[in-house]
Amino acid sequence: MDLVIKNGTIITATDTYKADIAVEDGKIIMIGKNITQTEGAKLVDASGKYVLPGAIDAHTHLEMPFGGTTSADSYEAGTRAAACGGVTTVFDFVIQRKGQGLIEAVEGRRTICDPQACVDYSFHTAITDLTPEILEEMKESVEYGVPSFKLFMVYKKEGLMVDDGVLAKALEKSKDIGALIAVHAENPDLIDMRIEKFLSEGKTSAWYHYLSRPEFVEAEANKRAIHWAKAFDAPLYIVHLANKEGLEEVTKARNEGYEIYAETCPQYLHFTNEVYKREDGRNFVCSPPIKGKESQEALWKGILNGSIQTVATDHCPFQSYEKDWGKDDFTKIPNGCMGIENLYPYMLSEANKGRISFNKVVEVCSTNVAKIFGCAPQKGTIAAGSDADIVIYDPNKKFVVSKENMHSDVDHTIWEGIELKGYPVMTFSRGKLVYKDGQFLGTPGHGQFIKCKGRK
Ligand code: URP
Ligand code: ZN
Ligand code: ZN
Ligand code: ZN
């Protein structure tokens, strides 16, 4: 064996128990009481600490061309920050450009990501041009190891948006080939109508970003997407869900037996739309925008009762000067916030403060993601045979988030000043120590592409 982690409390989605873990060649080979390490194996004493599976961020946008620029974290910076926040796998979005093949698009991104990735990664592909050939190629993508596709119901001027016909075709296809369709659900016509009105009235602050796409604008699209998924009896994953009414439709559909999944994000769980009235409100501009208190409370409830299955970041940061483009016009603010390094520490801190259980955090930040997207049990749990993606968490460590102690390339963080109870002290990626006590210890290129399994 290469590594033994002793005396820690192991926390999975279902269990909490004291045991030792032996690791060899990047895999967990044994879990048990009093494991004695063989000669040459490294020993980590986790007394008084929790031992958790690494988080899986199901939703990132690293070095993505978007909003007239490119999101500010490269694959290296984003996965470095991920490692330092206990995230050991990221699912990034490949954007299929017009006329581009799906595998071609994935392989293009792999070429960029492979030499940079500090932790393991996989992809979802955003389909923007669903020709008959692409519809056929979806099956090849499933076989290749990318069985999940995202459709944007908004972002017309960015060239990303698809209409209901495309959504319906993709859902119908997905059922046959074992793919999973994900949607960014907001109503584009309502947004355009409201933006036009606000701009004509000279209402240009970040608050009007929120008001141009408030709760009902998102809820309508949630309901429409669920309607189509039901019609084709196809599974559906709603990314970054942020409103109460849409969540109610998810709950209803799930109760009726449909395979509908909902993901929410830490920014929706911690902040409310009040942030858009702040002087730095533009830094919080993302789509869908952060909603009101009522939605926030519903999201927490949804996590607790299982209506929401995953919490992921939608990490898509931009530098301050880029956010400043929208100082006098909210429509010019590149959409997206940071969170890849904050996801697990924030959620675990909420557990440590008593809001939810640690097991639930592991479930929504890791285990469910692996199951839904087809990389379990290699990822998402602590078990013999699984990858040794392990986080050692000190429940007694106090941590205040600031730009200075974050590891991404972004010059600010919306999490500035947030006080956390407990913090990760070590992250192992396939048995390799990539983070310890505030220091990144990994290497670009260590991260591997994870092929996911389809649903057939
Ligand atoms: O504002 C956001 N969320 N930017 C990233 C792209 C997306 O919509 O997921
Ligand atoms: Zn070995
Ligand atoms: Zn989106
Ligand atoms: Zn996103």
Q: Beta-carbon neighbour count of residue 166 at 10 Å?
A: 17
Share of the chain above pLDDT 70, in %: 100
Give me the pLDDT at residue 456, please: 84
Q: Which atom of ligand 1 is nearest to the CA of 154?
A: 8
pLDDT tens, residue by residue, 221-234: 999 999 999 999 99
pLDDT tens, residue by residue, 282-307: 999 999 999 999 999 999 999 999 99
What is the rounded average pLDDT of the residues 65-92? 97
Give me the pLDDT at residue 51, please: 99
What is the rounded average pLDDT of the residues 3-24? 98
Cβ–ligand 1 distance for 286 under 6 Å, the answer: yes
Half-sphere exposure in the Cβ direction for 189 (13 Å, CA)? 5
Nearest to 182 by CA among 154, 148, 155: 148
Ligand 3 centre and the CA of 264: distance in Å?
11
Residue nearest (by alpha carbon) to ligand 1 atom 7: 287
How many angstroms separate the Cα of 180 from the Cα of each of 91, 152, 170, 455? Answer: 14, 14, 9, 8
Cβ–ligand 1 distance for 184 under 6 Å, the answer: yes
Cβ–ligand 1 distance for 61 under 6 Å, the answer: yes
Element (DSSP H or E) covering residue 121: strand 120-126
Q: In whole angstroms, what is the distance from residue 328 CA to residue 131 CA?
A: 39
Q: Is a pLDDT exceeding 90 seen at residue 208?
A: yes
Give me the pLDDT at residue 115, please: 98
pLDDT tens, residue by residue, 319-333: 999 999 999 999 999
Cβ–ligand 1 distance for 244 under 6 Å, the answer: no
What is the rounded average pLDDT of the residues 89-113? 98
Give residues with Cβ within 8 angstroms of 135, minimum separation 6: 169, 170, 173
Q: Are strands 65-66 and 69-70 parallel, antiparallel or unpaired?
A: antiparallel
Give the global pTM: 0.98
Residue nearest (by alpha carbon) to ligand 1 atom 4: 336
* Domains of the chain with bracketed CATH: 3-52+380-440 (2.30.40.10), 54-373 (3.20.20.140)
